[in-house]
Structure 1
Amino acid sequence: MILEPGRPTPLRSAATLAWLPVILVASFLSQPRLPFTVLVIGGAVLASLGWVVLSAKPERPGWLLPAGLVTLSAGGCLMVAQAREWVTPIAFCFVAVVTAGTRLRWTWALALTLATIAALIPAVAPREPSGALLLGLAMVTVLMLGMARRDRFRRAEERELAEASETRATEEHARAAALAERARIARDVHDVLAHSLSALAVQLQGARLMLQRDGAAADTIAQVERAQRLATEGLAEARRAIHALRSGPIDLPSGLAALAADHPGATLDVAADLPELTPEARETVVRTAQEALSNARKHAPGAPVRIRLARAGEGARLEVTDVTGARPEPGTGGYGLVGMAERAALVGARLDAGPTEDGWRVSLTIP
């Protein structure tokens, strides 16, 4: 029955309601004045009730708005009938008709219009015979205006739906392109970097065995072992990167738990009241923790590391703290910190990394 969806804003409702006392005061003070009879007061009460319902524009229950429009029109007709000529309260009838054309199905709107005309003609026709024709034309005109307004709302809604559908299609296309690009990068990393690191680790293992066989110096063997360990860790990092590129959205607790399990001496503390983060933000948290743990393995192997994810206002904060020795300053030891900072900036987060009293801490704050 009701065609135009949505509730009005409080400001619009208040503005609509503010016109009610204006029309009522004008009805009793303007010329010709209405008599203070029981029927006139009753009509004013009915019109006021209908106007209050109109200002609220309720959607539920479905009968309330049509009943309010009928009440509004009936109150206006009753007041006009007591004056038996054109008076200010006829505005209630016009408002009821135009709102019916906007909000109700055309059959209900037409029925209300015809009923209003039929109720008003006996009041205005006897003194002004041409008033009946004028009244009918005026009522039909405002009905058509209301229906035109309804059609304009409908076209605007259809445009919004079309734009939303186009936006979703564009986003899906962009998401598909991003997934295809991630798959390509994963293939390149697997085919080039992972294979090269795997071959390097095998070659270093062979070189270590040959040095041990030939009785090489202990420090030489230690350097080769360290190189082999770094190659093995690099291979593990490459495999994790490939998995990340090919996997879907990251689950924060399980993703951090997997990183902590792969790092000896790491402890994990995840708060239970974390806010809902976007997939990009969740991935940033996990990748930052992964890079921080990788740095800890390089600069302080075997040192205890604490991973803590807690709520920070409406966002979240990740802290990875380890007990380390000296660390390179940002910008002098590779692109790990630079990459973390760039990833944080993409989601509007803040990254802080620096020494503590007994180690090193990486802090990521997501708003």
Structure 2
Amino acid sequence: MGGWTQWPSRQALSREGVPRTRLLINGGIWLGLTGWLLVDALRSDAFQGWGRVALIGALVGCAALVEVLRRVTLDHRLAPALVLIAVLIAAGAALHAAGARTPSAAVWVVSAIVAMERLPLVIALGCAAVASGAYVLASGNSPLAEAATAGALVIGGYALRLDEEARGTGYRLLEQERMARRAEAESAALAERSRIAREIHDVLAHSLSAQLVHLEAARLLIERGEDSAKVLDRVVAARGMARDGLAETRQALSALRGEMAPVEDFLRESAAAEGARFVREGEPRTLTAEAGLTLRRVVQEALTNVRKHAPGARVELRLGYAEHTVSLEVRDGGARSAPAAAGLTVSGAGYGLLGMRERAELLGGTLEAGPEGEGFVVRLRVPL
């Protein structure tokens, strides 16, 4: 029963989404009908002088009422719409009583069609029945023919209703799609900003904190009157941290733009720089910028940890390509010499395995790290 008592949607009742050509055609039809009625009124001998002026005024008034009816139905206002329909039907009866049979028939026909087109269906059927019934009774023709005419009016109005509801549904779906695309674009922009912020933070947080450590140490050495060589060592270390941080920032930005060298080349270079062994398994696959950057960061962090906690250890980097994932394993065989002093180990990427694990999980991957045998192993797996 809900469909019988519901209004057509606002999109169906409005002109939103109606092609310009369709609007011009509809306007032409209404102007043509109004012009025909006016010409018929001017040719009629039943109206002369002021009577003709009154007839023309009545027709213009009915046209204005139809436009007002369109506006109140657009806002789903039932009471004013019923009043306007009643006024139009009464105006048709008055015109018929005055002898303007063609204009009265036109007013009743338009009332029936507009009611079927724009009112809740159960109400529209009643209004259309009254308007078309008045038309049938006033015509005085064959009841069967007039009944067929009245049925045609109802069906025609209902066909217009279906057409406009289909258009309104299409327009509503199009608007929903546009909103979804805007929301998707905004979400992608936010994700991209978060990604960039995370990369810059990962690089700069370590670099700046390391510089602060060395500069603070230099300040304390100066206050104590220590040897200038020690102060210079701290300043040089801080400068090196600044240089490394700048290089890391440039690498991060280049990776976000997709301008960095392939991941495999980067891993080979990193392994060669550390005297580590590099092994690739599987056929190389194309990686997303985020996945490639994650592999770079994990390698940097793992190699940094080896330098800090297992200096001199044999290291192996293993890159594996599977059908839907890429894996990385960094394994060391245990320290061959004592770890460096704590105050001098603040170097390298330094992003922390916890941060790397969070980064992997954001991509839907996993990171595992822990002792294995005499050494330590870091395993990363991310989807392609």
TM-score scaled to structure 1, two decimals?
0.46
The structure with higher relative contact order (CA 8 Å, sep 6+) is 2
